[in-house]
Structure 1
Amino acid sequence: MKKYKFNVNGNNYAVKITNVEGQTISLEVNGTPYEVEMEKEVKSSKTPKLVRSSAPRTSAPKAITRSAKQSNVVAPLPGTIISIKVKEGDVVKKGDLLMTMEAMKMENNVLAEHDGTIDSIKVSEGQSLLQGEVLVEMA
């Protein structure tokens, strides 16, 4: 449908609106799908509520399965990457430290959710990111 480019805190985001149904807008941010629910009446400037389109969540997102063999590790909170402890091709076990990020003035460890191999690292040290952004692709 429509494509937009945003620059937030020095980071570029390509946003593509794919579907609009009532108050729900389906969109992709840098290739990651989201559903945004717009409130009917906006009295002041508010940020739309982002809802993961793949599955209902009960806690902060950790890994989203893309296929039977590949999954993505996503940012549990908005923040900044402090250090990356793995590289592409590394074999990791469940609970291994992948990276450390600063969020809400605290250091947060991002751990492997399952055993696997690091296919690609989608972030770099010092990069700011939003909740739900893909950090690492694993197989």
Structure 2
Amino acid sequence: MKTYKFKVNATGYTVNVKSHEDNIINLEVNGTSYDVELKQDKKTTKTPTLVRAASKRPAEPLKVNPKSNKTKIVAPIPGIVLSLDVKVGDTLKIGDRMLVLEAMKMENNIVCEKAGTITAINVSIGQQVLQDEVMIELG
């Protein structure tokens, strides 16, 4: 396993550690084999394991009220607005991309889930948004 050289009172010793199980070490000193017991257990450091508790509430999908005249597009997660693909007055249909939101080093396309006309844009490129912050309003 490992070899050590010691000098005690001008006498040299070569120590070969052959095995180490629990607190018993088998070693060889200048050709003679010995079993040595440690007085203390060898302390091992453990990296703590982080355990995240499950969320108390289930994930809520973006809800669009089909009967409502106004629809608010909110940020699904905190992030930074990378690009705006629409402007006030644009008419959109379902599936049209409105903006790109960067969150956790990933680009997320925010698409239109209800057809309508853009009445207000509350964000700008490079702006940081929080979760559930209103970004775009459709009329």
TM-score interval for Structure 1 and Structure 2 normalised by the shorter chain: 0.5 to 0.7
Distance 1:61 1:132 in 2: 10
State, as a whole percentage, how many aligned pairs show the same letter.
Answer: 43
Which aligned pairs between 1:107-118 and structure 2 lie closer than 5 A? Answer: 107-118=107-118
2:43 corresponds to which residue? none
Distance 1:131 1:88 in 2: 23
Distance 2:118 2:90 in 1: 5
The change in CA–CA distance for 1:62 and 1:77 in structure 2 (over 3 A counts) is: farther
Secondary structure at the aligned position of 2:88 is classed as coil
**Does the 8 Å CA contact 1:101/1:107 hold for their aligned counterparts?**
yes
The change in CA–CA distance for 1:62 and 1:73 in structure 2 (over 3 A counts) is: farther
Higher-Rg member (1/2): 2
Q: Deviations over 1:70-123 (max 9, x none)?
A: 010000110000000000000000110000010011000000011100000010
Computed over aligned residues only, the root mean square deviation of the Cα atoms, in angstroms, reads: 2.2
1:78 corresponds to which residue? 78
2:90 aligned partner, one-letter code: D
Give TM-score, length-normalised by structure 2. Answer: 0.54
The answer as to 2:118 corresponding to 1:121 is no
Secondary structure at the aligned position of 1:98 is classed as strand
Q: How many residues of Structure 1 are paired with residues of Structure 2 in the alignment?
A: 83
Which aligned pairs between 1:7-18 and structure 2 lie closer than 5 A? Answer: none
1:86 aligned partner, one-letter code: V
1:98 corresponds to which residue? 98
2:121 aligned partner, one-letter code: I
Give TM-score, length-normalised by structure 1. Answer: 0.54
Distance 2:95 2:136 in 1: 14
Distance 2:102 2:63 in 1: 16
Secondary structure at the aligned position of 1:88 is classed as coil
Which aligned pairs between 1:50-65 and structure 2 lie closer than 5 A? Answer: 58-61=59-62, 63=64, 65=65
2:62 aligned partner, one-letter code: P
Secondary structure at the aligned position of 1:61 is classed as coil
The change in CA–CA distance for 1:62 and 1:80 in structure 2 (over 3 A counts) is: farther
**Does the 8 Å CA contact 1:72/1:137 hold for their aligned counterparts?**
yes
5+ residue gaps in structure 2?
1-54
The change in CA–CA distance for 1:119 and 1:80 in structure 2 (over 3 A counts) is: same
